[in-house]
Amino acid sequence: MTLLGLNRYQAFAIHIAISLVLFFILLVCITQFWYPGILFDTGNGWKAIALIVCIDLILGPLLTLIVFNPKKSSLKFDLWVIALVQTAALIYGTWTIHSSRPLAIAYINTSFMTFYANAENAHEIKDRVAALKTRQLFYVFDDDNPINTLNSDQLVPYIEYANTVPNLTSPYITLSTEGDTLLVEIDPLASHNRYLIINKDSGGIIGFTQQLNATNEITGNDKSKPSVK
């Protein structure tokens, strides 16, 4: 079947099929490599997928459906322009998603914080994540040598200090209405109503929620920050 033998709906279907292949490849990259695990939720992975859907599954195929007419003398040129526009938009969208992807989350002082790939210290965080082989971190303050900037060497696996988090006093930690989990706000200075759900006893990370379903602020017994002596 030649290009001129297609109608607009057949051309649209072919374009959708090709776009779906690209979409599933990018979907794997986003969910498995760029926004893995809990970072998919904390790093707004759904927005990344929505961007790809708009560009790959809506923009290109819709333009094909609109302009495709086998009787047009400029059909091949029109399709080349559509392909170039979609490719350029897809490349830019993919670059944006990759360059702003979350690298890790860390409990720092009173709440969780997200480290992104476009941050100034991204290279240091990447190296630390690779060395520790985990994206869930805990920042250990050194009270003997206090500094005003973040030292990536003081980031350790979250699991090592997870059981201390439920005992810390923080305005960003609340008790869920069920009473068996805690809600710890993530990036409270940049956004609101985004929480990591942790186990009330072990401090282990259970999941993510944007719904504050809590009773009251938790006041822990340990009011000090863990430190390295």
- Top-confidence residue, 228 or 96: 96
Domain boundaries, the chain: 3-99, 102-217
Q: Calculate helix-pair angle for 60-67, 8-28, nearest 10 degrees.
A: 170
pTM more than 0.85: yes
Range 82-85, long-range pairs (CB < 8 A, 24+ positions): 85/59, 85/60
Report pLDDT for 213: 59
Name the pLDDT band for 215 (thresholds 50, 70, 90): low
DSSP string, 198-216: EETTT--EEEEESS--EEE
Residue of 165, 113, 171, 105 whose CA lies nearest to 136? 105
- Mean per-residue pLDDT over the chain, rounded: 91
Share of the chain above pLDDT 70, in %: 92
Mean pLDDT of 74-86: 95
Report pLDDT for 20: 96
Which H helix or E strand runs over 36? none
For Cα atoms 209, 207, 158, give the angle at the middle one, nearest 5 degrees: 125
Report pLDDT for 1: 62
Q: What is the 3-state secondary structure (H, E, C) of 142-167?
A: CCCCCCCCCCHHHEEEHHHCHHHHHH
Report pLDDT for 214: 55
Name the pLDDT band for 143 (thresholds 50, 70, 90): confident
Mean pLDDT of 172-181: 90
Report pLDDT for 52: 96
Residue 147 has pLDDT above 90, yes or no: no
Residue 31 has pLDDT above 90, yes or no: yes
Mean pLDDT of 90-103: 97
Alpha-carbon distances, residue 215 vs 177, 179, 207 (angstroms): 5, 8, 18
